[in-house]
Chains A and B, each alone.
Chain A
Amino acid sequence: MRRIYLDHSATTPVHPRVASVVNRYMLADYGNASSVHSFGEAARKALIRAREQVAGLIGAEDREEIIFTSGGTESDNLAIKGAAWYNRKKGKHIVTSAGEHHAVLHACKALKRHGFRITEVGVDSEGRVDPDEVADAIEDDTILVTIMMANNEVGTVQPVAEIAEIARRHEVLFHTDAVQAVGQLDVNVSELGVDMLSISGHKIYGPKGVGALYLRKGTRIRSQQHGGHHERNMRAGTENVAGIAGLGEACALAEEELKFRRSHMIRLRDRLLDGLQESIEGLHINGSRDERLPNNANVSIAGVEGEAMLLGLNAEGIAASSGSACTSETLEASHVLSAMGMKPELAHASVRLTFGRENTEEDVDYVLQVFPGIVSRLRSMSPLDY
């Protein structure tokens, strides 16, 4: 049976070039980057190189603006909690959106228990945040605005540059979770005007367990994990040298391939969405058709449970997801689709297919071939009338 992986927003396969870099830093240059001797020196060099590669991909001016973390969740937590605790004397109000990843929403929720106030601006039916609403939400004691660059479930790209400009005008720090955007969109921290930006390795063909936070020079936050003096005192813990070197390589690869990836995935995505719309009645495309991540297709099929659809696809060798992987174990409808005002029955009927660099048109055609059959089988068993 064919096996087609269409869940790249959950995680990506590690690129062979990345895997060989990871292997090298475990095999030969395995030193602790804090050691004075040459093993340590080799590890430190690896960190510098990786820092430059990450900085290069996102247009950071100085490699010292890159802080390595254990992943996107830690980057988000460090940015939000770090900024909140550092600036708590200035104010205790944070603005975010209802469609953020749980790493952001739950970090904000945790701060609430410490007396911070959180305003979640809404999203429209396409999942977009309105910059004016962000401007209205900013209060005198607002210290941070955090809005993702692209949504992980429906792929909607947010007007981050505009929102960053608003935050800057109000002299409020701006953070963006760019975990899904990096490697697919042009992400340039100077052009976007962001103060902090989160990256995850395993979403861009890098290893799991490694990520980065871009922290604009001069931006002060409070470290969340104490210990040795790693990462300029921002993040204690022996550096995951092999993982970091792998992340650097993945960033270099993303820079090389960005144009190809974008056009390749847009072609596959549109082929799929057009094909599905043609062959399936009662199909909704969730999110925006224009302001959309190149690799994201998210659809709801009236009268079909998303989970059942996933199992049906899985039985045909297609790996997809409903909502984000992190929430797939809960039975609640996606908070993103709910925030978009979608009726629960349609929200429960959503399926996300996310492409990667290795997918082909044949993969799309195979999906288009088996998809309608699964839908009609499920609809025939469904008590729901669509």
Chain B
Amino acid sequence: MQETKKQTVYLDNSSTTAALKSVRRAMCQAMRDNYANPSSLHRLGMEAERMIEAGRRAAAGLLEAEPEEIYFTSGATEANNIIIRGAAQAYAQRGSHIITSQIEHPSVRLTCRDLQDRGFSVSYLPADERGRVRVDRLREALREDTILCSIMTVNNEVGSIQPLSEIGRELDKKPGPRPLFHTDAVQGVGKVDLPLKEAGIDAMSLSAHKFHGPKGIGVMYLRRGLSVPPLQTGGGQERGLRSGTENTEAIAGMTEAIEWLMQNEEDNRDYLRHLRRRLAELIQQAVPQAVINGAPPGRKHQDVQAPHILNVSVEGIRGEVMVHALEQRGVFASTGAACSTNKRIHSTTLASMPLPQGRIDSAVRLSMSPMNTVDEMKTAAQALKSAAQQLMKG
């Protein structure tokens, strides 16, 4: 007997996304026809190099930056590690103080923690009840010997947009040299404006698999004139900043994802906002006791809340229990960031926000992509309702 296939609603796009067809096609084509090592001098090597440079121009276009400010890495974790460790080493003469936040991704937070073991002091700024880093606390934390400030663009758990421009202005005011300003923009790119110039951002990290590109490839932006020592040494690729044969096929794939992103940026954002608003409404109708963590939908919150993440709590039901119950109903969500779920660590973002414990324990993250449909939002809200009813009874 043939089983009827249950509808799959993938709402875990902040963990990872499906690669676009054009991405897969470009990668297969690169693996088949354009497989040479870009460092090789022969024609095939030059064709591979051209592919990389096309990718660099695309990434530069996306960030409105110059191609020479773009470096390819194996992903955002590596980019975050290179910038944070590199800046610490490069500016160690000038000072040993680093500012970051309590709501950063582990690749930023734990890298800073590691630097603490090596003699650096780190201030972890708290966030407010909507998940935004508190600028007033930055003012207090800034020291004469602050050399680096790393604050994410959009939080990966609740989707709060961080006040980068305000932070940039505070950094401007610091007497003496301005600390290097880095932002992990993994969750921001394509979803919100990146205030590269306005906030005076020096360095930025991106990951392709969060915007329908391949895994294993990321971008590091480093403003012209800046340089940090590399972490990984060898053949001197990426102008010495990141050795290792370039992942040409993944770069080709990412190039396609970037082009898609740029062509559809406005539509995507409008559509995601629409999906988030519909999902929030449907959930509030279906499960009246559900509360939204982060800012609710609405034009007035547009500047503080990203459109692709809806984090909700149904108090009394633990987040991981709810995620499991949703999965049984074909809806794929997550509690916190994918990187911490295996360890069953509490969502670090929510835990550091001034929220009641019950709300933190019950938080579920639903993250959308432009590939999702309004019908899927209905399915998700119904699944949440039926799961809540079942779990409340028990």
A residues lining the B interface (CB < 8 Å): 5, 7, 10-14, 16, 18-19, 22-23, 26-27, 30-32, 34-40, 70-74, 76-77, 101-104, 106-107, 109-110, 200, 202, 207-210, 224-230, 236-243, 307, 310-311, 313-314, 318-322, 324-329
Contact = CB atoms under 8 A, between A and B. Distances in A.
A70 B237 CA distance: 14
B107 to A, nearest CB: 3
Contacts of B108: 227
A314 B15 contact: no
B214 interface: yes
25 contacts: A11-B37, A11-B40, A14-B35, A31-B16, A32-B12, A35-B12, A35-B16, A36-B323, A36-B335, A71-B244, A74-B244, A102-B234, A208-B246, A208-B250, A209-B74, A209-B247, A226-B107, A227-B105, A228-B107, A228-B337, A230-B339, A237-B78, A238-B215, A325-B37, A326-B234
Interface in B144-160: none
A171 to B, nearest CB: 27
Contacts of B16: 30-32, 35, 238
Contacts of A224: 81, 231-232
B101 interface: no
A10 B107 contact: no
A314 B47 CA distance: 13
Contact of A238 (B209, B236, B323): B209
B291 interface: no
Contacts of B237: 326
B324 interface: yes
A325 B250 contact: no
B334 A226 contact: no
B215 A240 contact: yes
Contacts of B138: none
A10 B31 contact: no
Nearest to A76: B234
B81 A225 contact: yes
Nearest to B216: A240
Nearest to B76: A237
A25 B30 CA distance: 17
A26 B23 contact: yes
B19 A237 contact: no
Contacts of B27: 22-23, 26
Contacts of A10: 36-37, 39-40, 45
B53 to A, nearest CB: 14
Interface string B205-232: 0010100001111000000000000111
Interface stretch (B260-268, B275-283, B340-348): B340-348
A267 to B, nearest CB: 24
A7 to B, nearest CB: 6
B241 to A, nearest CB: 13
Contacts of B107: 225-228, 236-237
A23 B28 contact: yes
Nearest to A315: B43
B286 interface: no
A242 B28 CA distance: 12
Nearest to B36: A11
B82 to A, nearest CB: 9
A26 to B, nearest CB: 4
Contacts, number: 276
B244 A310 contact: no
Contacts of B77: 225, 227-228, 236-238
A19 B31 contact: yes
Contact of A242 (B40, B78, B215): B215
Given A226-B111, A227-B105, 10 more contacts: A19-B31, A36-B323, A36-B342, A73-B243, A73-B245, A77-B243, A109-B233, A208-B247, A243-B247, A319-B44
Given A228-B340, A236-B107, A14 B32 contact: yes
A14 B74 CA distance: 19
B349 interface: no
A207 B24 CA distance: 13
**4 smallest beta-carbon distances between A and B, as pairs:** A326-B235, A228-B339, A209-B247, A240-B216
A228 B32 contact: no
A109 B340 CA distance: 35
Contact of A326 (B12, B75, B80, B236): B236
B129 interface: no
Contacts of B234: 73, 76-77, 101-104, 106-107, 326
A34 B106 contact: no
B308 to A, nearest CB: 15
Given A73-B244, A225-B231, A319-B40, A32 B15 contact: yes
Contacts of B181: none
Contacts of B111: 226-227
A40 to B, nearest CB: 7
- Residue among A76, A202, A209 having the largest count of chain B Cβ atoms under 10 Å: A209
B313 interface: no
Interface string B163-192: 000000000000000000000000000000
Given A34-B15, A225-B78, A326-B237, A103 B327 contact: no
